[in-house]
């Protein structure tokens, strides 16, 4: 039986790991920093076990959640602030995702981030050359804090508690994206991520402030998430707030989700975030930073559902992002950036699902996506470990040299492409089915369905383009040929060390079976059909999901297979469909995709350059110099000169003081007498 203390331990144990590594190991025991990895792994491993126990407890609980009384923190009149745990099926699923993926990433990091000259004959192949012992401890300290922050976010019972951890997740991503702070590109990427996500966070904060303003006079505590979800839509029917106010609150929250999840138009930070260590990318893209946005919309889903306009916006943004990011993944040559664009696209799928009301399928896809996306990022780190580059143009021929990495990367690619019977097939099919069934021919939902089908083809193409460029053909030199590669030492084509290979093998298992296992389409022994989505949707009283449609599943699978076939024809087999030939035919489109639709240039030149610098900044500077400064100077001038005038009156002559006092008495007496 899991209790409240053990659930709190899921959060506090990784937090304790951070405190030990940051406050003890890092400053006082640098020579023993190799213990940092085991400390982080053990702490997160314990949290993972507790998360599994919590998940099974919630899954078998007749109420579908574990009731926990919040702890009162502050009471001022009607203002009542509490701290507690909201343990419902959504939280239970997210706990397993965060701790499970984080555990695999920490184990992988033991090999990928291994300090040089530490028990290795070929130390240059076991970690970046600038990696020293203090940096090693700092890395695992940040990763422990990152995991703890995300756990605190998903467990939060009130909006203030949630927002605090929301910002902590952003801080950790900033620290880890810019981990190699001496590299200008990494420092710039960290700042970009921090600033762009702050734009979204501002919208989220405004929504929370507006929510508090509209509900503060009520006697009910509208800081608690469960209270907000249960009562806020009803306030519209009661006339306490307007439907427009509810829509504004939902859209403000969605702006925060757009920033964190890298949705259009705040997606520009996510590809640049690949400057961080590869295990960091795996954690950000599979279980923490970017999934927080989807979680936020899911957490406040009753508010969104009560606003058709907000749901329409979520659907449109999700569908556009799914295909928008996929087009950039078609032409990227950096294997990590291909996976980054893939993440943005898949998050668009999840947003699309939430927008059409498919709450359960959206979280189902988040669940399966976490495993195969983490697997793919770890695979990209494995090939970088051998070749010293992330540029696929300098890879090739690794299939025979790195068979385990190849097989696991192939499994992850097939699952992401949605090929039967792997995990991605089941969750992606649920989203397509719900988008198709929830709207008529000309509806927004149907538009999202069409965009999602196009993205299916693109996803299969760019993933197998990456697979063929990386593992097939002849080796093209690695870091020895790549002028942009960081210092790596001699290229050593061999399978990655066991600590890196083991997590990939483990993650490959759920990438194959977890989709059908957690959400079968019919009763499977003692496992009831659709038990996963039913558990998620039970407390929201949503209608049952549409039945599995074999025809739609076949159509989506054939579209994915066509994408794989085209990638095979262009990058492995047919010279008439070579990338060079296709590039000449589609050069304007290729250039547009390669330059990411010039969105970064628009932001830099127009928003940052003209609107901010020439408009806001220069106007603010003029106001500061000509109004604020001059006002202050005038006040000072008055003080100086008025003081000089008063100083002239201070003669030191007693007779003068007596005269002034007498005149004052006469004036006061006259006013008193004649004023009566």
Quick: pLDDT tens for 273-294.
Answer: 888 888 998 999 888 888 899 9
Q: Which CA distances in Å does 598 have to 443, 604, 667?
A: 30, 10, 77
* pLDDT mean over 611-634: 82
Query: How many of the other CB atoms lie within 10 Å of CB of 252?
Result: 21
Q: Is residue 92 scored above 80 in pLDDT?
A: yes
> Which of 72-81, 170-179, 464-473 is the least confident region?
72-81
pLDDT of residue 203: 92
Strands 71-76 and 79-83: antiparallel
Between CA 372 and CA 189 the distance in angstroms is 25
pLDDT of residue 541: 72
Between CA 401 and CA 395 the distance in angstroms is 12
Residue 155 pLDDT level (bands cut at 50, 70, 90): very high
Q: Which residue has the tokens 């555990």?
A: 103
CA quadruple 600, 606, 610, 612: dihedral sign:
negative
The distance in angstroms from the start CA to the end CA of the chain is: 86
Q: Is residue 352 scored above 70 in pLDDT?
A: yes
Half-sphere exposure of 493 (CA within 13 A, CB side): 19
| 410-460 pLDDT tens trace | 999 999 999 988 999 999 988 998 888 876 656 788 888 898 899 999 999
pLDDT of residue 118: 43
> Which of 40-54, 339-353, 653-667 is the least confident region?
653-667
pLDDT of residue 546: 77
Q: Is residue 125 scored above 50 in pLDDT?
A: no
Residue 91 pLDDT level (bands cut at 50, 70, 90): very high
Q: Which two tokens stand for residue 251?
A: 């859209």
Give SS3 for 335.
Answer: helix
Residue 74, beta-bridge partner list: 81
pLDDT of residue 589: 83
CA dihedral of 605, 609, 614, 616, whole degrees rounded to 10 = 120
- 496: part of which helix (H) or strand (E)? none
* pLDDT mean over 468-482: 83
Between CA 325 and CA 459 the distance in angstroms is 10
Give SS3 for 74.
Answer: strand
What one-character-per-residue DSSP string does 256-314 give?
HHHHHHT-TTS-THHHHGGGS-HHHHHHHHHTSHHHHHHHHHHHTHHHHHT-HHHHHHH
Q: Which two tokens stand for residue 659?
A: 């005269």
Q: Which CA distances in Å does 8 have to 56, 87, 173, 230?
A: 17, 11, 23, 24
Between CA 450 and CA 444 the distance in angstroms is 10
| 15-68 pLDDT tens trace | 999 999 988 887 777 767 778 889 999 999 999 999 999 998 888 876 667 767
In contact, 406 and 327? CB cutoff 8 Å: no
* pLDDT mean over 168-185: 90
In contact, 376 and 416? CB cutoff 8 Å: yes
Q: Is residue 121 scored above 70 in pLDDT?
A: no
Angle, alpha carbons 57-364-4 (nearest 5°)? 25
> Which of 143-147, 231-235, 355-359 is the least confident region?
231-235
What one-character-per-residue DSSP string does 362-404 give?
HHHHHHHHHHHHHHHHHHHHHHHHHHS--BGGG----TTT-HH
pLDDT of residue 115: 53
Between CA 606 and CA 593 the distance in angstroms is 20
């Amino acid at each position: 039986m899991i209790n409240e203390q053990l659930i709190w331990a899921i959060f506090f144990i990784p937090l304790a790991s951070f405190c030990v590594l940051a406050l003890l190991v890092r400053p006082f025991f640098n020579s023993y920093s190799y213990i940092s990895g085991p400390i982080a792994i053990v702490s997160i491993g314990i949290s993972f076990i507790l998360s599994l126990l919590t998940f099974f407890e919630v899954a078998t609980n007749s109420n579908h959640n574990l009731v926990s009384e919040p702890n009162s923190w502050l009471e001022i009149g009607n203002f009542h602030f509490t701290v507690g745990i909201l343990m419902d099926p959504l939280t239970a699923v997210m706990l397993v995702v965060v701790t499970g993926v984080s555990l695999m990433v920490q184990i992988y990091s033991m090999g990928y981030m291994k300090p040089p000259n530490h028990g290795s004959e070929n130390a240059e192949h076991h970690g970046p050359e600038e990696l020293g012992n203090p940096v090693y401890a700092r890395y695992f300290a940040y990763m422990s804090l990152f995991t703890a922050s995300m756990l605190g976010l998903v467990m939060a019972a009130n909006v203030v508690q949630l927002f605090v951890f929301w910002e902590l997740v952003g801080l950790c991503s900033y620290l880890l994206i810019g981990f190699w702070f001496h590299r200008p590109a990494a420092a710039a990427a960290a700042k970009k991520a921090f600033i762009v996500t702050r734009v979204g966070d501002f919208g989220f904060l405004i929504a929370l402030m507006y929510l508090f303003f509209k509900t503060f006079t009520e006697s009910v505590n509208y800081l608690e998430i469960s209270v907000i979800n249960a009562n806020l839509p009803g306030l519209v029917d009661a006339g306490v707030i307007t439907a427009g106010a509810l829509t504004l609150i939902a859209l403000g929250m969605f702006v925060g989700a757009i920033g964190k999840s890298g949705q259009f138009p705040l997606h520009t930070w996510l590809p640049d975030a690949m400057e961080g260590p590869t295990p960091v990318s795996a954690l950000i893209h599979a279980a923490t930073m970017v999934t927080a946005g989807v979680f936020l919309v899911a957490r406040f889903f009753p508010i969104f559902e009560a606003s058709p306009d907000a749901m329409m916006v979520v659907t449109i943004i999700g569908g556009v992002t799914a295909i928008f990011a996929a087009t950039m993944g078609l032409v990227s040559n950096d294997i990590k950036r291909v996976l980054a664009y893939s993440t943005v696209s898949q998050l668009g799928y999840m947003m699309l699902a939430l927008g059409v009301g498919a709450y359960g399928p959206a979280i189902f896809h988040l669940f399966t996506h976490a495993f195969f996306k983490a697997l793919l990022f770890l695979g990209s780190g494995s090939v970088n470990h051998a070749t010293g580059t992330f540029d696929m143009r300098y890879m090739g021929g690794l299939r025979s040299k790195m068979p385990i990495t190849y097989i696991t990367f192939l499994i992850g690619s097939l699952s992401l492409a949605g090929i039967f019977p792997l995990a991605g097939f089941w969750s992606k099919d649920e989203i397509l089915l719900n988008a198709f069934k929830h709207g008529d021919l000309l509806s927004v939902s149907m538009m999202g369905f069409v965009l999602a089908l196009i993205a299916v083809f693109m996803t299969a193409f760019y993933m197998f383009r990456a697979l063929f460029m990386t593992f097939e053909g002849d080796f093209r030199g690695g870091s020895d040929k790549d002028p942009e590669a960081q210092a790596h030492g001699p290229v050593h084509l061999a399978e990655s060390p066991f600590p890196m290979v083991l997590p990939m093998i483990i993650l490959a298992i759920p990438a194959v079976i977890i989709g059908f296992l957690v959400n079968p389409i019919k009763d499977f022994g003692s496992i009831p059909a659709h038990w996963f989505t039913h558990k998620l949707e039970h407390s929201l009283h949503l209608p049952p999901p549409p039945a599995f449609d074999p025809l739609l599943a076949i159509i989506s699978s054939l579209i994915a297979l066509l994408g794989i076939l085209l990638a095979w024809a262009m990058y492995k087999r047919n010279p008439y469909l070579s990338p060079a030939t296709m590039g000449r035919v589609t050069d304007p489109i290729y250039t547009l995709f390669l330059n990411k639709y010039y969105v970064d240039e628009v932001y830099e030149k127009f928003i940052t350059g003209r609107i901010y610098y020439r408009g806001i900044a220069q106007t603010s500077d003029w106001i500061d110099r000509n109004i604020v400064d001059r006002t202050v100077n005038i006040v000072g001038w008055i003080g100086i000169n008025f003081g000089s005038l008063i100083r002239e009156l201070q003669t030191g002559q007693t007779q003068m003081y007596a005269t002034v006092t007498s005149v004052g008495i006469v004036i006061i007496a006259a006013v008193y007498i004649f004023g009566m």
